[in-house]
Amino acid sequence: MMKVLVSVKRSVDYNVRIQVKPDGSGVVTEGVKHSMNPFDEIAMEEAVRLKEKGNVTEIIAVTVGGAKNEETLRSALAFGADRAVHVKEEGEIQPLNAAKALAAVFRKEGAQLFIAGKQAIDDDASQTGQMIASLLDLPQATFASKVEIDGNKAIVTREIDAGLETLEIDLPAVITADLRLNEPRYLKLPDIMKAKKKPVDVQSFASLDVTPGAGLKITKTAAPPKRSKGIVVKTVDELVAALKAKGLV
């Protein structure tokens, strides 16, 4: 019996051009397409592949967030999660508070493996997986591009600045998924239909005994300085002359 927990986050779709609100209070998310964070899709896909290989017996998808996150859980169930847990909390949830809730679910479920995306493409924090591992005193293998389960151990290849690092970690453990771990499948209609009937257990910080800590206060959100459009030259000679004039070559 090996249970794997996969965390999934609803975030603004990666194709959306982000607009900052003129009053500096945040970015426009109303009326904007949302999807499952792409790294969480990769995490889900990996869990499904481990189940197909016989390494895993049950996949539980978990999300921490408002009512709208249920659609993300349904996508996870369509991917192949057997059931889902929704830690229903409205408003902004900072990584440490999410990690505390996810760690509590992991403990409650008695799972052996946690797979998270390496970062969410909204706040780009890249913290939650490491924090879960820390709170549970478990091994972590972040930025994974290859995962092999070998009995009570996992052999994980990680994409790091220097190249590819391989670690051996004892289970239970936390792994975070990088881009090249796999290519997530397209969801098929029958699976989407089936997902509608799968069970979702609703929890909250209170039901999990999680006390959210003092957070960081976001005091302002601004658009980055805009790069101005430059010039298009016709020939390589012109380009070389322009670069020489700026002392760049």
Partner 1 sequence: MSKTLVIAEHADGKLSAAISKTVAAASQIGGEVHVAVFAVDGAAVAAQAAQIAGVTKVLTVNNAANNHALAATLAPQVVELAKGYSHVLFPGTTFGKDLAPRVAAKLDVQQISDIMHVHSATSFDRPIYAGNAICTVEAPASQLVIGTVRLASFQAAAGGNSAPVEAASVTASLPTHTRFVSLAAQKSERPELQSANRVVSGGRALASSENFKIIYDLADKLKAGVGASRAAVDSGYVPNDMQVGQTGKIIAPELYIAIGISGAIQHLAGIKDARTIVAINKDSEAPIFEVADFGIVGDLFTLVPELTGKV
Ligand X SMILES: Cc1cc2nc3c(=O)[nH]c(=O)nc-3n(C[C@H](O)[C@H](O)[C@H](O)COP(=O)(O)OP(=O)(O)OC[C@H]3O[C@@H](n4cnc5c(N)ncnc54)[C@H](O)[C@@H]3O)c2cc1C
Note the residues at the interface with ligand X (CB under 6 A). Answer: 14, 38, 121
CA distances from 14 to 11, 62, 164 (A): 8, 21, 26
Maximum CA pair distance of the chain?
69
Total interface residues for partner 1 by CB under 8 A: 82
Of 126, 175, 170, 111, the residue nearest 146 (C-alpha): 175
Stretch that binds partner 1, among 1-9, 40-48, 141-149, 198-206 (CB under 8 A): 141-149
Per-residue x/- mask for partner 1, residues 24 to 53, rule CB under 8 A? ---x--------------------------
Q: Which of residues 14 and 67 has its CB atom nearest to ligand X in the complex?
A: 14
- Of 34, 108, 180, 185, which lies in the binding site for partner 1, with binding defined by CB under 8 A? 180
Q: Which does 206 bind (CB under 5 to 8 A by kind): partner 1, ligand X, none?
A: none
DSSP SS3 for 127: coil
Smallest separation, CB 103 to partner 1 (Å) = 9
Question: 176 with 130: CB under 8 angstroms?
Answer: yes
Q: Which does 169 bind (CB under 5 to 8 A by kind): ligand X, partner 1, none?
A: partner 1
Residues 16-22: contacts with CB under 8 Å, at least 24 apart: 20/221, 20/222, 20/223, 21/221
Q: Which of residues 38 and 95 has its CB atom nearest to ligand X in the complex?
A: 38
CA distances from 1 to 74, 83, 102, 139, 156 (A): 24, 15, 20, 20, 21
- 243 touches partner 1 (CB under 8 A): yes
- 162 touches partner 1 (CB under 8 A): yes
Cα gap 52→55, rounded to integer Å: 8
- 222 touches partner 1 (CB under 8 A): yes
- Of 48, 116, 133, 208, which lies in the binding site for partner 1, with binding defined by CB under 8 A? 133
Q: Which does 128 bind (CB under 5 to 8 A by kind): ligand X, partner 1, none?
A: partner 1
